Structure 1
Amino acid sequence: MSESDLATLINFSTNDIINIINGKKGIVLLTAEKISKVFGRRYFELGNPNFPISTEDDLPQSTKIAISLRESKGQPKKYSDHKLGKNLDSIIGTSFLHVPRTSQEMFDQLPENVKTEIKSHHRVTDLMQKPKKQKLVATIISEDDQLTFQLREYAPKDNILNIKPVSKKSKGNHGK
């Protein structure tokens, strides 16, 4: 099973799955349960050595069908964040972010073809926290503890989170 198979089965992006596998993105209980169901397990069985990983024969029928469909179609084309970035820039250029908005609300503003390709509002969250976007848009924790985004010029100064960019050195790129 490929990362894209798992992403399709739980309605996540392939990038999200890769980041989860590499430990760059955490998961909540609901996500753990979705992933475990793909393997015909419960979330608490995945890390338990008494419950070995399912063989292909043991996989649920829906998982087998999804893998079979992907194998017949080939690997899906990789989505580029460039298209998402351009669409987010368009949203930033409107009055939509004069008030705090969640990544889900921003996702809902995207064209249907972009929503279909990125599959989840999590990609919006990830991209909005990049340094280039953070120059214009503040990340704010709302009163109900949700991560929201608002144009810096309209954002209350006392609620802005300082998102520190990941240095190139920590990504493994040494030198220029």
Structure 2
Amino acid sequence: MSKKLKESAKVQFARQLKRYRETFDLTQKYLAKSSGITLTYISVIEKGDSSVGLDILEKLANFFGVEYYEMGNPNFPVPSFDALPQKTKRAIAQLEKEKLAAAAKAAQKKAEDKKDGKPGRAKQLHTLIANGFFDQAQTAKNTFKALHPNIPEADYAAYTVEIGKITNTLSSGKFEKLLDKLEPIKGSTAVRFIRKGVDKIAAFHTKL
């Protein structure tokens, strides 16, 4: 009689970390920045591909204001916002401030584009497909760059919401029938999109 395989500790902790992170609406990037752990490592942990040493576990636990053994316990409740350390509260508040500022900036630009008669996001993306942009694998960030060549990359942090919307748009509706969605390349968390029918082996090696 076969027994159900037990999940590895790595997979269980991956789910645990994601639960903590999503409770406070934190991106992997912002958690990495605020906790002092690299984005690549946060991503690998949440995929269940890496064991977590005590030093990393302690950093994560300190960020959320719990003990290291509580952080690893799925039966221990995620702390409320009020119970978080002041430093963590400030980090979350700053993230919310950045999100609101980015949303306001994007809304203003959308209104200006509409006033100037510029096409919306979907029409612009269809134009990129028609022009062969997606004949090579492209990330949402690359796509944003193609749509807004005058915006310096140093300012992209203010447009994370818009870049996220590009990912959502390319992943659904008519675009889902036109484009294939590829897994991130090693060391990255960004999915990529490529026109259906293009050689996927060559596309796999396309740089970000």
For normalisation by structure 1, the TM-score amounts to: 0.44
- Larger-gyration structure (1/2): 2
For normalisation by structure 2, the TM-score amounts to: 0.39
